[in-house]
Structure 1
Amino acid sequence: MNFKSVITIFCFAVLLGCNAEFQTPVSNENATLELTRLDGTPIPSPAMDEFLLSKMEELQIPGLSVAVISKGDISYLRSFGVVRADTAEPVGPETVFEAASISKAVFAYFVMTMVEDGTLDLDRPMHEYLPLPELEHDERYRSITARMALSHQTGLPNWRFLEEDGKLDIKFDPGTEFGYSGEAYEYLVAVVAHLNGVTPRTLEDVFQERVAVPLEMTHSSFTRNAHWDAHKAYGHEAGVAEEDRWYTDLSVFGGAHSLHSNAEDLAKFALAVIEGRGLEPDTYAEMLSEQVVLPDDQPIRTSFGIESWALGFGRSSTEAGMKYAHGGVNEHANAYFMVIPAQGYGVVFFANSSNGLALAEELEGFLGVLAGSSERSEG
């Protein structure tokens, strides 16, 4: 397996053939509001269905789970297609998809619940909570904080296995610039687990208690469980076993990459972000505040319009207000999340295809989300 193909920032639109039969969309009765574009213009649900089905066929996406939030509530919630390209089993309300790097946004919210109750200090060096022996050779690691981890300022690489020497090293002085890093998130996972008296193998219980249960995210989990085994949407290529598609142990909480969820659950999370639900106003404001500005020539900025980073989210200016977004790319699985809190508006979707994120820009265009594009990060 080519691990470099599992996670890469910029290769999300590789066209792969598939013969999926596109199913009649599965609706959810909870989506009772009128679907609208960002400017409030109504969109008949059949027109949205037709648009998505046409894009699924064009982009060869076998399965899709999608939700739109307008007027501060879920106004559109649909499932389309099949759980894997070599079967006729339809995607439905129970189906879960790989969230990939959208995991980082949900994990950041989880961390902020601990910042709020004093369990974790964003600006206390993480080594004071839990040393990381692999970095003790570099004195700079002692300045790395949770704030730097959540805003990609640690100097750590994205993933060590993508480095030529396979080692974990600091690439720049922590806190001085932006550098996307899954490794930093995994270090923070270890710290969070330690502070809660558990391990990364049992941190899921804490996440469920603090986030999933309060937000009613009933099908969301960072670690493998029986529901995954029974209801997971598999990747674009038929016959690829889950164990062969991952570079890590799915029984371990992966704050940077391992979340599995669906559009209804992620829409509930989006509503919490829009409303600041579950966090005090000061904590909420801190989470979404600008932490680091991306240079004009930074590839994520030039390619995807991300202007700055908050704690767990990319930030882009739009005519309607600040857009907070994250994308996810795993091999044969893409996901997308964006909200504009000032408008009570958002879009989320999951696709079991390498072509899923090619849908994001077109869907935002269809919905009238203006100016700025969101980060399509790796899983």
Structure 2
Amino acid sequence: MRSIRLSLILASLLFLQFKTRAQTVDPAIADKISRVENNILKPIQIEGDAPYSIQQDMKDNHIHGVSIAVIHNYKIEWAKGYGYADDSLKIPVTAQTLFQAASISKSLNAVGVLKLVQDKKLDLYADINNYLTTWKFPYDSLSKNKKISVANLLSHTAGLTVHGFGGYSATDTLPTLVQILNGTKPANSPAIRSMYAPGLKSEYSGGGITISQMIVMDITHESYDKYMYDNVLKPLGMTSSTYTQPPVNVKPALLAAGYRPDGKEIPGKFHTYPEQAAAGLWTNPTDLAKYIIETQLAYHGKSSKVLNQQMTQLRLTPYIDNEAALGTFVINRDSTKYFSHSGANEGFRCAYYGSFEDGNGVVVMVNSDNGNINNDIVNSVAKVYGFKGLNISVTRKVIKVDDAILQSYTGKYAISSKQVAIVAKQGSQLTIQMGNQRPLNVYPETKNKFFVKEFNAEAEFITDDKGQVTKVIFYENGHSNEALPVK
């Protein structure tokens, strides 16, 4: 019976995929899709390189499935899936495939919490213990007699512990929310407590968002997933999405399996996250695009399916610093502002961007622990569509370096007593391996300075008057570390 049922599911999915592909696509849009797919932009592009395709990027990074939605002029211009939602069963990714949204869950959670504020059931700036009844936050001397507000929780300015959560495998016993908050077994994360006084700075805390989940439940006397579906997801048109953990009433074939960076499947296919507000949303780029568009319209007073203009503008206003708003982050590049969030659960990575003006945006979700392809795709979409500020790739020129010089750079270099970098040569290609990480190709920009393509990092070889390497300086994101040759 099980094999028959699986065959029916696969047949229906294949029919749906055929039906989707058979629909007429505007030639202009089809051309944009093709240009996005076949001109993927790495953070570092090498001048003269051949175009790079999304299929090649997936293959090189052992990524089984990718799903994309592009927003243009306040509309979903296209949404498309690539590869497999479940490689072992050969179930393809479609626009309907659900992925774990991980920390993007926090953005929709903020909409739900602010709906309670808008309905005057919650004071955004009052002590959270005024609303917590099932559990109380245990203030101590670290909070300096300052009270934590819901605004602090949503903007990561509450000074709380627990950055994120690892989830639970299919064989684990799930903890209650109170056990998670207190860090007691079977919870696999520490207790959520103060690190310092609230309101000093923004420091990311999934723990704080989990407290907001308890507040929603204590105020509404409903399960969190029911409240969020009825009051946020359904009104936004996100009817394929769910906060239920693990999902129920969802066809198994619609749930993407998660994979490790080497392409191996997560045992049990995915983890369960009872920390629903912080990491529990199952969704797809199409549904997230509906959230982005409604946010954009509400910001300009053109819609109010959940939040009105005033509350939406408040949600998109950084609370203490210039980036951390309520459930989202604000970035300003090339005189263009976006609200954005990324996510990382076991076996899943994702990111979204929505512009404040003009109604543009992009969502990318993958079923892999390797999320580098998300940035590559965003770069490509931004270049094709002219989305200012989102294409952060740069082009660099590679020079020819004599093989004897390359050979002189090979060897081991100690960054510290515990970290060693290995420089090796394969043919005319120099590689650098940091500790147990995979070796990365490095490319010469000058005779002694090399860069990697995957991210913003360089290596500079310093030599004496005899050409012997005395040290290597590694640069990454504005920081530098010196490494000495290991004799």
Residue 86 of structure 2 aligns with which residue?
84
Q: Name the structure 1 match of 2:288.
A: 266
Identity %: 23
AA aligned opposite 1:310: A
Q: 1:34 to 1:68 in 2, by over 3 A?
A: farther
Determine if the alignment matches structure 1 residue 240 to structure 2 residue 240. no
| Matches for 1:105-120 after TM superposition, within 5 Å | 105-120=107-122
Partner Cα separation in structure 2 for residue 291 and residue 171 of structure 1: 19
1:255 equivalent in structure 2:
277
Structure 2 Cα separation of the partners of residues 213 and 170 of structure 1: 35
Greater mean alpha carbon deviation, residues 341-350 or residues 126-135:
126-135
Aligned to 1:221: 242
2:138, 2:311 → 1: CA distance? 30
What whole-Å deviation, never above 9, does each CA across 1:243-293 have from its counterpart, x for those lacking one? 8x53xx54x461000100011111111111111142211111101012121
Structure-2 change in CA distance of 1:31 and 1:257 (3 Å): farther
User: Residue 349 of structure 2 is aligned with which of 328, 334, 350?
Assistant: 334
Deviation at 1:89, TM superposition (A): 1.2
3-state SS in 1 of match to 2:279: coil
Q: Does 1:143 align with 2:165?
A: no
Which deviates more, 210-219 or 256-265?
A: 210-219
Letter of the structure 2 residue corresponding to residue 358 of structure 1: N
Specify the alignment match of 1:348 in structure 2. 363
Q: CA deviation at 1:339?
A: 0.6
Q: Secondary structure at the match of 1:255?
A: helix
Assess, with a 3 A threshold, how the Cα gap between structure 1 residues 325 and 350 changes in structure 2: closer, same or farther: same
For 1:123 and 1:29, the matched residues in 2 are separated by: 50
Contact in 2 for aligned 1:320/1:343 (Cα 8 Å): no
What is the Cα deviation at residue 221 of structure 1? Answer: 0.7
Alignment correspondent of 1:38: none
SS in structure 1 opposite 2:67?
strand
Larger relative contact order, structure 1 or 2 (CA cutoff 8 Å, min sep 6): 1
* Offset from partner CA, 1:127-171 (integer Å, 9 cap, x none): 011154462445838611110000000111134889999333311
**One of 125, 128, 131 as aligned partner of 1:129:** 131
Greater Cα radius of gyration, structure 1 or 2: 2
Q: Aligned equivalents of 2:227 and 2:25: distance in 1?
A: 29
Which structure shows the higher strand fraction?
2
CA distance in 2, matches of 1:234, 1:321: 36
**Structure 1 residues 30-109: aligned runs within 5 Å:** 35=29, 44-50=32-38, 51-109=53-111
* CA distance in structure 2 between the partners assigned to 1:214 and 1:93 by the alignment: 20
**TM-score normalised according to structure 2 size:** 0.61
Return the alpha-carbon distance in structure 2 between the equivalents of residues 179 and 330 of structure 1.
19
> Offset of 1:57 from its aligned partner?
2.4
Taking the aligned partners of 2:27 and 2:325, their CA distance within structure 1 comes to: 30
Q: Distance in 2 between matches of 1:326 and 1:313?
A: 6
Task: Please tell me whether residue 322 in structure 1 is matched to residue 337 in structure 2.
Answer: yes
Aligned to 2:227: 206
Residue 316 of structure 2 corresponds to which residue in structure 1?
Answer: 288
Q: Once structures 1 and 2 are overlaid, which stretch shifts more, 128-137 or 328-337? A: 128-137
Summarize deviations over 1:37-81 as a string: whole Å, max 9, x none.
xxxxx9532222334333222322101111000111111210111
CA contact 1:127–1:142 (8 Å) conserved in 2: no
Tell me the distance in 2 between the aligned counterparts of 1:167 and 1:115.
Answer: 27
Provide the C-alpha distance between the structure 1 equivalents of 2:88 and 2:308, rounded to a whole number of angstroms: 47
- Contact persistence 1:329–1:354 (CA under 8 A): yes
Contact in 1 for aligned 2:164/2:206 (Cα 8 Å): no
User: Residues 165 and 105 (structure 1 numbering): CA distance in 2 closer, same or farther, change over 3 Å?
Assistant: closer
Count of equivalent residues: 325
CA distance in 1: counterparts of 2:286 and 2:24, whole angstroms: 9
Letter in 1 for 2:138: L
* Structure 1: distance between partners of 2:189 and 2:112: 33
Separation (CA, whole Å) in 1 of partners of 2:102 and 2:24: 26
Aligned residue for 1:343, secondary structure, equals: coil
Decide which moves more: 23-32 or 317-326.
Answer: 23-32
**Structure 1 CA distance for aligned equivalents of residues 107 and 203 of structure 2:** 16
Aligned twin of 1:14: none
Classify 1:370/1:158 alpha carbon distance in 2 versus 1 (closer, same or farther; 3 Å): farther
Superposition deviation, residue 222 in structure 1? 0.8
Asked if 2 retains the 8 angstrom alpha-carbon contact of 1:177 and 1:292, the reply is yes
Separation in 1, partners of 2:26, 2:366: 23
Q: Are the equivalent residues in 1 in contact too, given 2:199–2:320 (CA < 8 A)?
A: no
Whole-Å separation in 1 of the counterparts to 2:65 and 2:108? 23
SS of 1:193's equivalent in the other structure is helix
Provide the rounded CA distance (Å) in 1 between the counterparts of 2:198 and 2:107. Answer: 21
The residue aligned with 1:6 is none
RMSD, matched Cα: 3.1
CA distance in 1, matches of 2:377, 2:197: 39
Provide the secondary structure at the position in 2 that maps to 1:185: helix
The DSSP-based 3-state class of the residue aligned with 2:199 is coil
